[in-house]
A and B are shown apart, each in its own frame.
Chain A
């Protein structure tokens, strides 16, 4: 009888949330959409005793914080650091990475007042870390003083931090602009500097990483001046070459710890392709619709879900859709929150706290959450679109997971070719090693910037190196411009300038835009937008959303970096229409490619926002256009490109229009295989089709056909010589070394692009191979697909 009652009660009770149940249901209902499913097995924890030599107060503080033993990787890091080795720790999210550096740093601070410098890529992470240190300090009454030092630190606090800080938590930009040029004010700090901690080193890639490596070369000179040789402790999310990357950054050999001892529950990964809605055209339902559906199911199953959206705009759209379902009662606290760059720091902190406290059921974010912001445990992570790299995909999936319970990660493919490639090759995704982080610290312009900054900080003396670089030639260039003055064997700074202010480590021009709300006569700042996305999101007429509340941009003050908005109630959002044109500045190298040529060189890229579309919610119909007049965004970078001579094209194609369409399709396929090969995030490598003499470029018109556009955007015809050209270029000023290795394998790229198209199941072409095609092309004799194949065949050296 009692057991019956118990069963009765159990039946009435809601089932406890269980990811396995959701997984089973998804697998059963949507088997045709799941192209790959695999499980990363659970891993038991591996533990180690606290080091015996740990100072007793620290041991006690750890005990009070509930830490009585270490994970094996933490103990391993302690041993390596005590041996004086520079160490990099590479373990997943939430594996207790910070203890790897907290232990040696705090121990040395207690024992000998040794100082430590922490560098985080963002202010938010720095603040998290100081909060954690303060809690440990309070628990054990350790007397260790930890401070953030960044652009927000008030002037009167700075002096105290310089003199009394044991642990100074800052960022590369502040080290570069605020600390190194004023190193004498930090003399006491540098004289006692024992540890330099750099977390999230996987985020220092490309230009930013190249700058950081040079900032660290400058730090090494300053340390030498004060007679110290600090030990570096670095941490990274999973990347393909953590040791090499760490060594490239700090210029010294590094011991790598890559085995995590932290336990984790099993992780189920689903690769999800939205259903085909038009089989002929190969058109699929949107990734957005699928993500919304899965997120609803997860939240209804009482699971905590995190959705990564590809853009700030999509964060707002998805948040609105989920709020429409779960947050219609305004009297209850919101279950759905949005998180992205551009929100004010206080608002982000509040969302993080609510998330940690388990009070948010669904969080929609941009890549802002990829870094180690602590948001507690989650059950389900949904990715709208492939983030562009294997490493970033696993970093995002790493957000889900509890120690005891399984978790689910779903990658929902968009119609982008790269996404389609990934979900159609699940075995590739599963087996691919995570990407390598690349930096180019000896890029001449970056070097020149930092040798200039270094000369300001301490004079160069003949024979001084700068990392592995001999700086004499650069110093001569600087001397010619009266920046430094050579006297005897020394190069002394003589200019009246503060060079660090002219060098931005992140290559983002001229700071952020602020969004000012002028509704009801108020003037309050509600958001910030970085320079690079301002043109795409803050044009006049744009609907700018904050936590899915729409505001309309009424006035954009480009020079003043302000956008004035008012609250609005419209049923549409806006999306910028932008296009790119490209000009060759110089050829570095060239080879025959089939009947044409392939080149490597330097190009000038101009991106212009021409207008915007108004898109109605839910139906996604286009309900209008608006014009935009904004300055062009410019970029000088390296590129590789393919060209075919007019004779070859005239012979192979019935019309120039056909050849043009073929180039557009070939560009899409080449871009896909190249992105996979260099494992570039898709925004790092861009494509474009233009004329060989750069007088015009090609874009698709509303029928999907290639159209020449002159440089001012007006319709145009090709120059007398018909030389359409496919460009692939590094999307960074100065380039970050993608084009060069691609150029060396250009023949293989052409071959792989041919295979990609030939192996695609569509008839006339589809978004996965040559880009979207229109219904009218379906039955044409010469399909876009065949035209692209013809272009590639002409470029193929057999």
Chain B
């Protein structure tokens, strides 16, 4: 092992060659380099083309570590459920639906995933899945999250059990992002993909049609703030979710992972309200004219 690390260290300069390196990157002779042996970890990072992380990896917050929420339903898999009272439970008209028949509210399932990154391909996974649906007089928010990689199969199976053949999925950019990503994960776990034949309403498209150009962008947080007047408190931006997950995996720091859980809960709750809002704020024909 140490022999290999040594050898890789020696060769790291060659890897640097492949990118047109600025003149400053010319390595010193090894004798000099040895004389100023730096941090072994930093050298490996350079070898691996990883930038030394600009921000301190931990950013230890002043907060006390938050305990893991929910219950462990399988090794490495936690489940959280919350319910919120709602008033009317009228059927809903799904935006951009081929025929303009309102559907029973209970058929909708709003979902969102938190993933290890945006790179795509078989190395990107979801470590958290949240879903909101209406049950009786309540909006039910259920969330699954991993505390170990080995829980992934159980998580995917648990999510599959939430879906019925007549479920209508609701997402924000989920047709392009979350659903294909989950398809990859089900395939890698050799499980059937339960999303494949389900109807799927991606609210990004009707929202874009109605609100394009009105605010700085059409991201869910922007729409939520401006349309639904929801203000989040202490929200962890979605872009920081991958780092939060890695920090938890590496040294068990759960604080930011719990903030991701809250962020995800708010996202799916917002999706449910946005579905209702879009139903009430646009005529059925508006969805049918092409974009």
Could you tell me which A residues sit within 8 Å of B by CB distance?
181-185, 187, 444-445, 448, 452, 455-458, 473-474, 476-478, 480-483, 485, 487-488, 490, 492-500, 502, 504, 507, 509-510, 531, 583-586, 602, 604, 606, 631-632, 634-637, 694, 733-734
Contacts and interface: CB of A to CB of B under 8 A. Distances in A.
B4 A473 contact: yes
B114 to A, nearest CB: 12
A181 B11 contact: no
Interface in B13-46: 13-23, 26-27, 29-30, 41, 44-45
A181 B117 contact: no
Contacts of A452: 48
A496 B245 CA distance: 11
B231 interface: no
A122 B171 CA distance: 42
Contacts of A490: 149-150
Contact of A496 (B117, B183, B184): B117
Contact of A481 (B15, B50, B119, B123): B50
Interface residues of B, number: 51
B7 interface: yes
Nearest to B186: A184
A481 B14 contact: no
B26 A604 contact: yes
A10 B127 CA distance: 87
Contacts of B20: 509-510, 531, 631
A494 B123 CA distance: 7
B29 A498 contact: no
Among B20, B21, B122, the one with the most A-chain Cβ atoms within 10 Å of its Cβ is B122
Q: Please provide the 10 A-B residue pairs with the shortest distance between their CB atoms, ordered closest to farther.
A: A496-B117, A456-B123, A636-B14, A181-B121, A493-B123, A498-B119, A184-B187, A492-B149, A184-B184, A734-B14
B49 interface: yes
A499 B124 CA distance: 11
A477 B119 contact: no
Contacts of B158: none
Contacts of B123: 181, 455-457, 493, 495, 497-499
A481 B45 contact: yes
A456 B44 contact: no
Contacts of B1: 473, 476
Nearest to A476: B1
Nearest to B250: A482
B59 to A, nearest CB: 15
B246 interface: yes
A635 B20 CA distance: 10
B191 to A, nearest CB: 12
Nearest to B19: A509
8 contacts: A181-B122, A477-B5, A496-B242, A510-B19, A585-B27, A585-B29, A635-B17, A636-B14
Contacts of B19: 509-510
A602 B11 CA distance: 9
Interface string B173-212: 0000000000110011000000000000000000000000
A62 to B, nearest CB: 39
Contacts of B245: 494
A498 B149 contact: no
A79 B23 CA distance: 57
Contacts of B48: 448, 452, 477-478, 481, 483
Nearest to A456: B123
Nearest to B20: A509
Nearest to A498: B119
B149 A482 contact: no
A22 B30 CA distance: 60
Contacts of A499: 123
Given A496-B119, A496-B242, A631-B20, A487 B150 contact: yes
Nearest to B193: A184
Contact of B4 (A474, A500, A632): A474
Contacts of A480: 41, 44
A777 to B, nearest CB: 36
Among B23, B48, B49, B183, the one with the most A-chain Cβ atoms within 10 Å of its Cβ is B48
A636 B120 contact: no
A510 B21 CA distance: 11
Interface of B: 1, 4-5, 7-8, 10-23, 26-27, 29-30, 41, 44-45, 47-50, 116-124, 148-150, 183-184, 187-188, 242, 245-246, 249-250
Contacts of B124: 496
Contacts, number: 138
B7 A444 contact: yes
B266 to A, nearest CB: 22
A544 B50 CA distance: 38
A488 to B, nearest CB: 6
B222 to A, nearest CB: 23
B149 A182 contact: no
Given A452-B48, A477-B5, A494-B246, A187 B187 contact: yes
Given A476-B1, A477-B5, A586-B10, A182 B121 contact: yes
A493 to B, nearest CB: 4
Among B5, B18, B188, the one with the most A-chain Cβ atoms within 10 Å of its Cβ is B18
Contacts of A584: 29
Contacts of B18: 504, 507, 509, 733
B188 A585 contact: no
A497 B119 contact: yes
A586 B9 CA distance: 12
Contacts of B188: 184, 458
Nearest to B7: A444
A585 B34 CA distance: 11
B7 A482 contact: no
Contact of B122 (A458, A495, A606): A458
Nearest to A483: B48
Contacts of B4: 444, 473-474, 477
A423 to B, nearest CB: 36
Given A490-B150, A631-B20, 5 more contacts: A444-B7, A488-B150, A495-B123, A497-B117, A604-B27
A760 B27 CA distance: 42
A445 B46 CA distance: 12
Contacts of B120: 182, 498
Contacts of A458: 122, 188
A495 B23 CA distance: 29
A455 B184 CA distance: 15
A440 to B, nearest CB: 12
B80 to A, nearest CB: 22
Contacts of B11: 444-445, 636, 734
A734 B118 CA distance: 32
A631 B19 CA distance: 12
Nearest to A492: B149
A483 B51 CA distance: 12
Contacts of A476: 1
Contacts of A634: 17, 21, 26
Contacts of B187: 184, 187
B123 to A, nearest CB: 4
Given A510-B20, A606-B26, A637 B122 contact: no
B27 A477 contact: no
A444 B4 CA distance: 8
Contacts of A631: 20, 22-23
Contacts of B242: 496
Contact of B8 (A477, A482, A485): A477
Contact of A636 (B17, B122, B148): B17
Nearest to B245: A494
A184 B122 contact: yes
B8 A444 contact: yes
B148 A487 contact: yes
B288 to A, nearest CB: 23
A583 B29 contact: yes
Nearest to A472: B1
Contacts of A497: 50, 117, 119, 123
A183 B121 CA distance: 8
Contacts of A494: 116, 245-246, 249
